């Protein structure tokens, strides 16, 4: 006697697994929903609003109407002498911060890579702690250190025959003071990134080169630094894109962009347009231009990084 098996149970089981498979394919994307929502709310929506405000004349008072002015705000921003000064100062900040985020971290990381044990932990904490201090607290401490009436730094300078005076009100010294304060904070982050890059380099390369008679200097220049290029490119890109952001709180607390705009940068200029002059349209136009400019720089830098970086494959 033969019993014929029907395919209905098999078909039913297959049909039941299809929704599960579809749901399983969608599940990983659900974890991205909170991040996407936050990006839309805090990044993309403000960008769209800023772009819209750049075409109107408005003084930030909700009861006042917004007057459409077209491209007048962009034309005004591009002709302002304050913009030229802020751009020049920002470029100087970027160049100076490269020393603290690239040059000095490489030197410190290479010199101290032989430190081991508890001494290494202490050294890393000592270097990185300034980066963890808030800019407000940092500015308060440095204001006290630079105080012309009894500050530690003016006292030391006086013993050497230098009269610093009020550094934050001296056009020739104020930018140097801001660079010193911000660079002091950036140094720890740069050392951490470079040290991590050095730790990721296979020591077999240096060992093989030393067996072939290579000196420490040759190993550093021809092996270590090329393999560090991804970390160095990353630090350079962060310095270019974030220098104005890093220096903004120190400028706001200690100098207010003065004297005579000697220490201002593009971010502080945006603050002045929007919240001192109450010109939302002008601030939005300047912000849009800066966003486009930094976006183009980032795209160019990323493209160059693919050609300049050397990876250990």
146 confidence band (pLDDT: 50, 70, 90): very high
Residue 178, H or E segment = helix 174-199
b/e per residue 142-173 (b: at least 16 CB within 10 A): bbeebbeeebebbeebeeeeeebeebbeeeeb
What confidence tier does 151 reach under pLDDT thresholds 50, 70, 90? confident
* Residue reference for tokens 């709310």: 41
Q: Write down the pLDDT at residue 116.
A: 75
Q: State the pLDDT at residue 131.
A: 86
Residue 36: per-residue pLDDT: 93
In a domain, 9, yes or no: no
Average pLDDT score over residue span 147-172: 88
Taking a C-beta distance cutoff of 8 angstroms, is the pair 275, 248 a contact? Answer: no
Task: Establish if 11 belongs to a structural domain.
Answer: no
**Other Cβ atoms within 10 Å of 186 Cβ, number:** 27
pLDDT of residue 247: 92
CA atoms of 301 and 87, how far apart (whole Å): 19
Structure tokens, 57: 């004349």
Residue 73 lies in a domain: no
Residue 68 domain-assigned (yes or no): no
* Residue 228 confidence (pLDDT) above 70: yes
Whole-angstrom CA distances from 69 to 56, 145, 301 are: 5, 48, 35
Lowest-confidence segment of 42-46, 152-156, 309-313 by average pLDDT: 309-313
Domain housing 249: 80-308
The CATH number of the domain holding residue 252 is 1.10.3720.10
Q: Is residue 40 part of a domain?
A: no
Please check the confidence at residue 13 and state whether its pLDDT lies above 70: no
Residue 82 confidence (pLDDT) above 60: yes
The per-residue pLDDT for range 97-129, each reduced to its tens digit, is 999 999 999 998 888 877 777 777 787 778 888
Task: Please tell me the predicted confidence (pLDDT) of residue 9.
Answer: 55
| Number of domains within the chain | 1
Taking a C-beta distance cutoff of 8 angstroms, is the pair 178, 248 a contact?
no
What is the C-alpha to C-alpha distance for residues 46 and 232, in angstroms, rounded to an integer? 32
Quote the pTM value: 0.84
Exposure of 32 in the CB half-sphere (CA atoms within 13 A) = 6
Question: Mean pLDDT of all residues in the chain?
Answer: 86
Q: What is the pLDDT of residues 14-40, one digit of tens each?
A: 555 566 666 667 788 888 899 999 999
What does the pLDDT read at residue 206? Answer: 85
The first and second tokens of residue 190, run together, are: 């740069």
Q: Above pLDDT 70, what percent of the chain?
A: 90
Residue 83 has pLDDT above 70, yes or no: yes
In a domain, 2, yes or no: no
């Amino acid at each position: 006697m033969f019993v014929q098996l029907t395919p209905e149970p098999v078909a039913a089981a297959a049909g039941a697994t299809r929704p599960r498979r579809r749901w399983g394919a969608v599940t990983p994307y659900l974890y991205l929903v909170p991040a996407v929502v936050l990006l839309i709310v805090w990044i993309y929506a403000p960008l769209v609003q800023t772009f819209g405000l750049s075409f109107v004349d408005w003084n930030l008072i909700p009861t006042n109407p917004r007057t459409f002015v077209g491209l007048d705000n962009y034309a005004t921003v591009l002709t302002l002498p304050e913009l030229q000064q802020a751009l020049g100062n920002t470029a100087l900040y970027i160049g100076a911060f490269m020393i603290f985020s690239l040059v000095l971290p490489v030197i410190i990381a290479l010199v101290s890579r032989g430190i081991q044990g508890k001494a290494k932990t202490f050294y890393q904490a000592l270097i990185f702690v300034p980066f963890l201090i808030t800019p407000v607290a940092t500015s308060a401490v440095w204001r006290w250190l630079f105080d012309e009436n009894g500050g530690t730094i003016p006292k030391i300078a006086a013993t050497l025959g230098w009269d610093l005076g009020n550094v934050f009100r001296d056009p020739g010294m104020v930018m140097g003071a801001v660079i010193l304060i911000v660079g002091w904070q950036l140094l720890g982050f740069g050392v951490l990134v470079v040290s991590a890059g050095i730790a990721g380099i296979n020591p077999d390369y240096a060992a093989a080169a030393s067996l072939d008679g290579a000196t420490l200097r040759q190993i550093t220049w021809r092996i270590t630094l090329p393999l560090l290029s991804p970390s160095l490119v990353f630090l350079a890109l962060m310095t270019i894109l974030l220098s104005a952001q890093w220096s903004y709180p120190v400028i706001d607390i200690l100098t207010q962009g003065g004297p005579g705009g000697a220490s201002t940068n593009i971010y502080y200029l945006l603050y002045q347009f929007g919240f001192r002059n109450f010109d939302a349209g002008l601030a939005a136009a300047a912000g849009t231009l800066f966003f486009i400019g930094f976006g183009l720089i980032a795209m160019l830098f990323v493209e160059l990084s693919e050609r300049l970086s050397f990876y250990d494959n």
